[in-house]
């Protein structure tokens, strides 16, 4: 039975059923893009730092049917929904939900390192930079320990040669690169622009722990055309699961 105050939504063109709070933080475009950017190989292990109800995690698991996933979530209600969503989609044998706090560090989880980490860190770590969100959304929007805690967790969570994939605000790109650069490299950056003639609002950053290759700035993904209210063909293909966000 679906809990009260929860909606059940179709994601990835109906391939994923996602139960999420009606009034809380709800998975959207950022989760879909993060899932599409996950390029883990078969038999690899992937952890998502801050998985919420599993919007990105489960879509990535469906896209990568031979890969195993762990979602880390500190909010007990969100973790319970994520666990239920894994079962709802028949993914409980490949997707595990672990209660824990990114800001407590990876070692506190007592887990072996992963082949890849994906994450959509909270977008703000300065309460003065944002009008306070609704209480039920504040955990998803505000990072108590700052972006440094999230990048530090991701760096510890993966083996040498493993990949880190993050989606975040475009205006924090310099901070992300500076925080990851001491331990990671081979950066590939995909700007995400609302329109072809507008600045990017999001970036997806992919790095390799101990990677040494030169940074690559990829062509942007444009989400909307100026004519019409729908998504661009490229964005629509990603949302429907017909295309990945390739590197």
Query: What is the rounded distance in angstroms from the CA atom of residue 179 to the CA atom of residue 164?
Result: 12
Instruction: DSSP letter for 200, please.
Output: -
Residue by residue, DSSP assigns 32-97 as: HHHHHH--PPTT-EEEEES-TTSHHHHHHHHHSTT-EEEEEE--HHHHHHHHHHHHHTT-TTTEEE
| Crossing angle between the packed helical segments 55-63 and 29-37, to the nearest 10 degrees | 40
pLDDT score for 227: 83
pLDDT digits (tens), the chain, 247 positions: 667 789 999 999 999 999 999 887 788 999 999 999 999 999 999 999 999 999 999 999 999 999 999 999 999 999 999 999 999 999 999 999 999 999 999 999 999 999 999 999 998 565 454 444 455 444 443 345 699 999 999 999 999 999 999 999 999 999 999 999 999 999 999 999 999 999 999 999 999 999 999 999 999 999 999 887 789 999 999 999 999 999 9
pLDDT score for 27: 84
pLDDT score for 110: 96
pLDDT score for 226: 87
Write out the two tokens for 134: 């609704």
pLDDT score for 141: 39
pLDDT score for 152: 98
């Amino acid at each position: 039975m679906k809990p009260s105050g929860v909606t059940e939504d179709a994601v990835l063109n109906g391939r994923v059923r996602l139960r999420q709070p009606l009034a809380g933080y709800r998975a959207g475009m950022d989760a879909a893009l993060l899932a599409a950017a996950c390029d883990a190989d078969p038999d690899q292990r992937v952890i998502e730092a801050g998985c919420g109800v599993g919007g990105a995690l489960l879509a990535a698991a469906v896209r990568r049917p031979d890969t195993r996933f762990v979602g880390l979530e500190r909010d007990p209600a969100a973790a319970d929904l994520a666990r239920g969503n894994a079962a709802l989609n028949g993914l409980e044998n490949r997707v595990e939900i672990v209660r824990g706090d990114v800001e407590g560090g990876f070692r506190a989880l007592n887990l072996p390192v992963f082949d890849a980490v994906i994450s959509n860190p909270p977008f703000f770590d300065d309460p003065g930079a944002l009008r306070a969100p609704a209480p039920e959304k504040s955990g998803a929007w505000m990072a108590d320990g700052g972006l440094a805690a999230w990048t530090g967790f991701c760096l510890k969570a993966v083996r040498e040669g493993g990949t880190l994939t993050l989606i975040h605000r475009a205006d924090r790109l310099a901070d992300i690169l500076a925080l990851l650069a001491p331990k990671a490299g081979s950066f590939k950056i995909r700007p995400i622009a609302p329109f072809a003639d507008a600045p990017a609002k999001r970036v997806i950053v992919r790095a390799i722990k101990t990677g040494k290759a030169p940074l690559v700035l990829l062509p942007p993904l444009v989400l909307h055309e100026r004519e019409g209210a729908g998504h661009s063909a490229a964005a629509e293909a990603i949302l429907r699961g017909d295309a990945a966000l390739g590197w």
